Structure 1
Amino acid sequence: MKNSIFAIFALLFVAQSSVAQRLEVNDVDPKTGSKTFITSNHAGADVMWDDTVTRNGMLFFSAGYTSDIKNNTPVETYFIDLSMIHNDARLGCLMHDSGKIIITFTDGTTAECMQVSDNSCDKLAFNAGYALMPRGDYTAKMKQTFDNLLVKDIKSIEVFTSETTIKYPIKSQKMDYIKAHFALLDKRIKQSKPANGTASN
């Protein structure tokens, strides 16, 4: 059963060739100035059981950043992508209009992130994106949360579905790995913002 679930997972979330800590998406449009950077959710060439960041179940983690120019002003979005294998139809759906996660850090503080991806009602697995801010909050909150994720260890991630919540305790040995996602993004974002303000590849 375990192998069959993983086989289906491999079809749902296509494995991408990678090396430990790398960008899966690294796009800069020199004409529009738009940027998209997303880290890979697995360390090796293929998705492995050891890539799950949780002690219970299967949770695969990546982080991302987008920037578009609107009215000559950059509009930035910092987000987390989560791929979850649950094999439980009772969980319902991840809902675009109400879905969220709550991140609890080891120091006891929390961060709420709102779902920005489409509804997902798969009975086996979810894949969803979450902006680093509560619904209805100001967008500058995303950068504040991002800065915390650079330095703080995540103790758990609680995912809110239409029917219940799923709480994923984070493996202690994966805490630095998760922070490395944000460190890599931070480095790439800074590289793409040279002093003269022009887009950089």
Structure 2
Amino acid sequence: MKIIKSDLHAIAALPKQYPNDDLPEIAFAGRSNVGKSSFINAMINRANLARTSGKPGKTRTINFYIINDSFRFVDLPGYGYAQVSMEERKKWAQFIDTYLTSRDNLREVVLVVDMRHEPTSLDKMMYDWIKSFGYKGLVIATKADKITKANWQKNIKIIREKLEIKDINLIIPFSSEKKINVDKVWKEFNPIILEKTKDQ
């Protein structure tokens, strides 16, 4: 995928704030601090379009990034950050759920995990939700450069077993810093973006 242009299109907490068109969207879900924003930046070859933060749990909105004026990446708020109040977490969960269950533009939901750590029960819940709605079940395992390549298979096996993933090829090791597997992820995304409508 050749990225000609990319921009922040909308910041939303309510459906009325979502972009009003029919461009396809791929959304990214994951725990706070797994590197979703850095992943988006690496994929579109921009240093800091998607806002990253050293403070986990800071992203409290759904951020829509338009790419080549033809599709969008959607960065969902990170879940599972303990220092955020239960009330605040419930609020996030509600507007994330609203987006995921009502957005006609949505073509795929991708789970982003930190390759160095075993997925949590919240990751498992999110992955089960993704699969139950008929999405492919892609998992981006970020920060692959932080462990030796010799340990990749061991860590991938842990992710696969925890999330109960049948096809190991659905787990893609990724490094935003080293741009590892950017082309491989685009190979997965291109057919999704080109689909006219989401399979029901």
TM exceeds 0.5?
Answer: no
Greater strand share, structure number: 1
Larger Rg: 1
Higher RCO by CA contacts (8 Å cutoff, separation 6 or greater): 2
Structure with the higher fraction of residues in helix conformation: 2
Normalised-by-shorter TM-score class = under 0.3
Structure 1 length as normaliser, TM-score? Answer: 0.22
